[in-house]
Amino acid sequence: MTIVYDDRGDEVASEVPVRRIRFTINGERKVAEVEPRLLLSHLIRRGLGLTGTHMGCDTTNCGACTVLVDGRAVKSCTMLAVQADGHEISTVEGLATASELHPLQEGFSDEHGLQCGFCTPGMMMAAKALLDSNPDPTEEEVRWALSGNLCRCTGYQNIVKSVLWAADKLRSQS
Amino acid sequence: MSQALDEIKIGGLGASRKRVEDNRFIRGKGNYTDDITLPGMLHMEILRSPLAHARIKSIDASRAWEIPGVHLVLTGEMMATRNLAWMPTLSYDTQAVLATDKVRFQGQEVACVIADDPYIAKDACEAIDVEYEPLPAIVSPMQAVADGAPVIRDDKENQHDNVIYDWEVGDAAGTERAFAAADTISRLRLHYPRSHPSPIECCGSIADFNRATSKLTVYMTTQAPHIIRAAVALVAELPEHMIRIISPDIGGGFGNKVPVYPGYVCSILASILLERPVKWIEDKSGNLISTGYARDVYLDGEMALRSDGKILAVRMHVDADHGAFFSDAQPSKFKIGLIHSAFAAYDIPVAHLTARGTYSNKAPGGVAYRCSFRVTEAMFFQERMVQAAAVDLGMDQAAFRRMNFVRDDQFPHRTPFGFLTDSGQYGKCLDVGLRAVGYEDFLAKQQEARARGRLLGIGISTMTEPLGAGNSREYDILGIKMFDSAELKVHMTGKAIVRTGARGQGQGHETTWAQIVSHELGIPAEDVVVEEGDTDTAPFGMGTYASRSTPVAGAAVAMVARKIRAKARRLAAHLLEVSEEDIEWELGRFYIRSAPDRGVTIQECAMAAYSNMPDGMEPGLQNTAYYDPPNLTWPFAVYIVTVEVDPETGVWDVLNTVAVDDCGVRINPMIVEGQIMGGLTEAYAMASMQFITFDAEGNCVGSNYMDYLLPTSWETPGFELHSEVVTPCPHHPIGAKGIGECAAVGGPAAFVNAVIDAISGTGVRNIDMPLLPDRVWEAITYRRDVSGVPPVRTDD
């Protein structure tokens, strides 16, 4: 993020340390200059304008900010942007293609797996990490895989159904 | 003759229509407050008090001002010069915006910084030096009224103690007489712990004051944008037409996003001073520690009983801990919300309730957390008390309830506290629930298990609650009557837009309001777009909370559609060249009574309103309806839970949860079931883990998600829902009742009753929520009631 400071004749502003990182997001290669303390979630939301990755807490509990880093589900509020250097990130915006939705997106809509929608992107990314490694999960496996993501609206039952719906569809497609 | 429309196919009443909101949310294209960026936008952070009660000796912000990128540091002193250090609350009290004299709870707003970047603003907050002189902290009503208790609100001229109000309702003398004639008197005292609604999205705002136009636009997380506009007009002394409140997508509300918070006020003032947009997004600890809490009441009651099981009278006392400022969001006629809705489902001749509210060194707020103003506390006490009475009488808990229920032929029924319940089939709901859970079989299994040392329990809870305030005679907030409105515009091609003053936060208004229009006009739901949340475009409304959207705003949608239909009928008569009296309506079409195959569709009428109206008729097809409900709607529900308790550890597992909800006509059954499951989960949360408590110094335990436990997909049990019982609301235009909160209101007692039933051999009457394993273990092991009253022990 570029910031223009008032010139007060001091050196402090120019001393803000900056690191250059290279990474891939939703298949696009990027280079960025970031403060070393910048959270990955802020790089995604504010630096890249991908606001589908939400921030709900500051303690790695809620999982609304879950993205995939090299295919693994990661809570992006607990990773520094500089740690993404050289890595591949996927966010909710990368789930659908230009012409069709990902089965997880269809499943969440079909099974009423969302209400306010705030936890939904994180839920779907955590579910994607599960289905990528386990295409035929049991209900219990889905519940365990999503246990790092909080939802206050749905009571989870329909979220679990949504993920199982998507698993079915993905298997039938392959 | 044309084929009649299939209402379900066009997405009308009763269709489980997929939600139109979903398409943006599943793509990550929602538009929540924090997703909005305006040109030149600055960022605000709040410095909060680390202490619960302390005098402020000095605030030195000079180091913060030095940090490059800092534009403004606001303190209470600066706010005071603009008469904004304090603001009025929704309950006729005052609340500090930024502390001047004292801090009165941990996490209270002391200063805020506006900077180019949120990281810089946070740095600058840490560079503000505040010197405090600690004072003793009060964390319960008992401490608040004890001799020698420090007076928390010494800012108020006539406040010499910590009592906010003493309030009563009911018939004291009649209740006294009934108790004197009782065969048995049952007693129960319990604490409904402080909780926090905790939507995943925190509160926030972007204030954007434009000097050139004098217009203030505020994007904010509010469930009630029109009320906020009125509040800003009054507090900031700005003309109301120059204030535009926009409530974009909201990441859950549950009552937490009803009040006016200091952060909103500071961001507005900062934007006016700096003439730039100022964004404030709270972090989770700020949200949990300072914004609208819920519950935190002590309920003490007794029930006068005849030996055959008839309830003769009820007496209740409530001690309510309101925190440092009395800022409950509630109808102004009542001091403790609608807590006197307790026992509304039972035919009890007489009752008396007293309530005392006190200040403490805790966050203010008292919001209706997924309930209609304190009815959660009312129903919880009701169903815990009913179970205790059944045990005292040695009666079956289901039979005891059935015997005392208001019967189907008694409606409308006046409750002993003065409410008029409208309709219901209580006994039938209970039957459905008992059958679903296999009641008799379970009781037999419970006996068998007990013989082998296993503890099984079954808990029943029922509830009816008053949803959908007004009517305007009795319900207002700060004098503003509680009604709602809807505006409907039908375009010439028969497509339409409907706007209301409600503001959904996940309830699916964009889907269901269109279904109501579809039901009334026969326009396919997909041809109706719904818009809410912008005070410049939406008609006036009191907002979405306390399950009032369907009962009030939804009714307004039906009423405005009927106005449109009335005009369309005149257009149809003109098109068909007959008189209006000769015309009949079927879904989506007017036809000539004597020649049913001659008709015009609603779409043809719409086109005529713009292209072929009769002479003298005002063109166009749009209208607005204001709806002032004649009464509240009264849904009813039965929740039954079975559990197994591990006597060694106190851990309890839910075996089965059955929910029988009678919420009248269901607009969208899929959405209704989603609401019920969400409510059941919050009920389970409160019964099992979710609470905020305090230590003796007033430190908040539960101010982040590490300490404030919420159930995940792993703990949350599955639910079995029943929709067999439908009692249409007799006074609602489409027969609907509120439903969003019923399970959160009625559910907790079912879980607690089940655990208490499982350990009934111990003689334990009460364990305060949440029923943490250590509390249950203590109850089983020492055969004693377990209190959850703060202060909790601290590490010595």
- From A58, which residue of chain B is nearest by alpha-carbon distance? B284
Q: Is A146 in CB contact (< 8 Å) with chain B?
A: yes
Distance between the two ends of chain A, CA-based, in angstroms? 42
Say which of A1, A93, A116 has its CB closest to residue B117. A1
Range 481-540 of B in CB contact (< 8 A) with A: 505-508
**Whole-number pLDDT of residue A7:** 63
pLDDT of residue A4: 66
Average pLDDT of the residues of chain B: 96
B741 a catalytic residue:
yes
**CA angle (B299 as vertex; B334, B699 as ends), nearest 5:** 95
For A77, the token pair is 């509020």
Nearest to A110 among B18, B34, B284 (CB): B18
Inform me whether the pLDDT recorded for A12 exceeds 80: no
Q: Could A109 and B681 be called an inter-chain contact, meaning their C-beta atoms sit closer than 8 Å?
A: no
The Cα of B659 is separated from the nearest Cα of chain A by a number of Å equal to 14
In this complex, which of A120, A144, A154 lies closest to B678 when CB atoms are compared? Answer: A154
A–B interface: beta-carbon pairs under 8 A: 186
Q: Give the pLDDT band (50/70/90) at residue B18.
A: very high
What pLDDT score was predicted for residue B370?
93
Amino acid at B644: E
Please, are residues A90 and A49 in contact by the beta-carbon 8 Å criterion? no
User: What's the topology of domain A17-94?
Assistant: Ubiquitin-like (UB roll) (3.10.20)
Q: Tell me what pLDDT residue B329 has.
A: 87
State the DSSP code for B418: S
User: Which one-letter amino acid corresponds to residue B451?
Assistant: A
Q: How far apart are CA B521 and CA B598, in angstroms?
A: 18
pLDDT of residue A10: 57
Mean pLDDT of B20-45: 98
Contacts of B37 in chain A (CB under 8 A): 46, 49
A59 touches chain B (CB under 8 A): yes
Closest partner CB to A117 (pick from B30, B69, B714): B30
B173, two tokens: 């003398």
Q: Which residues of B touch A67 (CB under 8 A)?
A: none
Domain positions in chain A are 17-94, 103-173
Mind listing the pLDDT tens digit for each residue in B243-290? Answer: 999 999 999 999 999 999 999 999 999 999 999 999 999 999 999 999
Cross-chain Cβ contact B27/A105 below 8 Å: yes
Burial class (CB in 10 A: 0-12, 13-18, 19+), B760: middle
Helix (H, G, I), strand (E, B) or coil at B689: coil
pLDDT in tens, B521-550: 999 999 999 999 999 999 999 999 999 999
Q: How far is B253 from chain A (nearest CA, A)?
A: 9
pLDDT of residue B236: 78
- CA B175 to each of CA B301, B307, B355, B684: distance values in angstroms, whole numbers, following the listed order: 12, 18, 16, 34
Asked, as a colleague might, if the bond just before B412 is cis with ω within 30 of 0, I would say: yes
Mind giving me the DSSP string for B634-670? --EEEEEEEEEE-TTT--EEEEEEEEEEE-BS-S-HH
Is A48's Cβ below 8 Å from some Cβ in B?
A: no
Report chain B residues whose CB lies below 8 A from the CB of A52: 27-30
* pLDDT greater than 60 at residue A11: no
**Strand-pair category, B42-48 with B278-281:** parallel
| Inter-chain touch A157–B718, beta carbons under 8 Å | yes
At residue B478 the predicted structure's pLDDT band, cuts being 50, 70 and 90, is confident
Number of residues in chain B: 796
Q: pLDDT confidence of B470, banded at 50, 70, 90?
A: confident
The answer to whether residue B423 scores a pLDDT higher than 70 is yes
Is the CB of residue A36 less than 8 Å away from at least one CB of chain B?
A: no
Average pLDDT over residues B696-720: 97
Catalytic residue among B125, B371, B605, B729: B371
Cβ-defined contact of B119 to A35 (cutoff 8 Å): yes
CB B572 within 8 A of CB B605: yes
Distance from CA of A79 to the nearest CA of B (A): 16
Closest Cα of chain A to B431: distance in Å?
A: 25
Q: Given this model, what pLDDT does residue B209 score?
A: 97
Q: How far apart are CA B319 and CA B338, in angstroms?
A: 15
Catalytic residue among B370, B374, B503, B775: B370
Q: Please tell me the distance from the alpha carbon of residue A160 to that of residue A112, in angstroms, as a whole number.
A: 10
The active-site residue out of B106, B223, B382, B675 is B223
Please choose, from the candidates B699, B573, B622, the residue with its C-alpha nearest in 3D space to the C-alpha of residue B50.
B699
CA distance B745 to chain A (A): 15
pLDDT higher than threshold 80 for residue A6: no
| Block residue for tokens 């102004």 | B332
Q: Is B680 on the interface with A (CB under 8 A)?
A: yes
Cross-chain residue pair A59–B25, CB shorter than 8 Å = no
Task: For residue B42, give the chain A residue with the closest CA.
Answer: A3
Q: Is A53 in contact with B28 (Cβ distance < 8 A)?
A: yes
Find chain A residues with C-beta within 8 A of B35's C-beta.
45, 51
Tens digits of per-residue pLDDT, B104-158?
Answer: 999 999 999 999 999 999 999 999 999 999 999 999 999 999 999 999 999 999 9
Closest residue on chain B to A116 (Cα):
B506
Among partner residues B37, B677, B714, which is closest to A157 by beta-carbon distance?
B677
Residues B183-215: tens digit of each pLDDT: 999 999 999 999 999 999 999 999 999 999 999
Q: Contact B376/B748 with Cβ under 8 angstroms? A: yes
d(CA A174, nearest CA chain B) in Å: 23
pLDDT value at position A14?
Answer: 58
Residue B291 has pLDDT above 70, yes or no: yes
- The answer to whether B707 faces chain A, any CB pair under 8 Å, is no
Which of B741, B742, B765, B775 is catalytic? The answer is B741
pLDDT-derived band at B2, boundaries 50, 70, 90: low
**Contact yes or no for B674 and A154 at CB 8 A:** yes
Q: Give the mean model confidence (pLDDT) for residues B65-88.
A: 96
pLDDT score for B792: 85
| Local structure of A40: helix, strand or coil | helix
Interface test with B, best of A118, A147, A159 (most B CBs within 10 A): A118
Cβ within 8 Å, pair B69-A64: no
Percent of chain B with pLDDT over 70: 99
CA–CA–CA angle B197, B666, B679 (5° rounding): 20
* B654: confidence class by pLDDT, cuts 50, 70, 90: very high
**Which of B27, B69, B508 has its CB closest to that of A3?**
B69
Residue B48 has which token pair?
């909060």
Does the domain made of A103-173 have the CATH classification 3.40.50.300? no
The yes-or-no verdict on residue B625 having pLDDT over 80 is yes
Angle at B609 between CA B607 and CA B612, to 5 degrees: 80
Q: How far is B705 from chain A (nearest CA, A)?
A: 6
Amino acid, res. B301: G
Which chain A residues are Cβ-neighbours of B716 within 8 angstroms?
155-157
What pLDDT digit, counting tens, does each position of B378-419 carry? 999 999 999 999 999 999 999 999 999 999 999 999 999 999
Contact B349, B109 (CB under 8 A): no
Please give, rounded to a whole number of angstroms, the shortest distance from the CA of B661 to a CA of chain A.
16
Active site residue B729: no
Question: Rounded to 5 degrees, what are φ and ψ at B16?
Answer: -85, 65
Report residue B341 as tokens: 């809705």
Of B68, B677, B680, the CB nearest to A8: B68
Q: What is the pLDDT of residues B555-598, one digit of tens each?
A: 999 999 999 999 999 999 999 999 999 999 999 999 999 999 99
Give B45→chain A minimum CA distance, Å.
14
Residue B24 and residue A117: Cβ atoms within 8 Å?
A: yes
Domains belonging to chain B, first-starting first, are: 22-30+484-627 (3.30.365.10), 33-135+206-250+257-281 (3.90.1170.50), 294-469+631-646+653-782 (3.30.365.10)
Instruction: Please name the residues between 80 and 139 in chain A that touch chain B, using a CB distance below 8 Å.
Output: 91-93, 95-96, 101, 105, 108-110, 112, 114-121, 124
Phi-psi region of A162 (alpha: psi -120 to 50; beta: other; left: phi over 0): alpha
Per-residue pLDDT band at B39 (split at 50, 70, 90): very high
Put simply, whether A159 touches B (Cβ < 8 Å) is yes
Residue B51 has what pLDDT?
Answer: 98
What was the pLDDT predicted at A9? 61
**Interchain contact A13–B (C-beta under 8 A):** yes
- DSSP code of residue B563: H
B618 is catalytic: no
Q: Does A18 touch chain B (CB under 8 A)?
A: no
H helices present in B4-69, as ranges = 22-26, 62-66
A46 burial type by CB count under 10 A (0-12 exposed, 13-18 middle, 19+ buried): middle
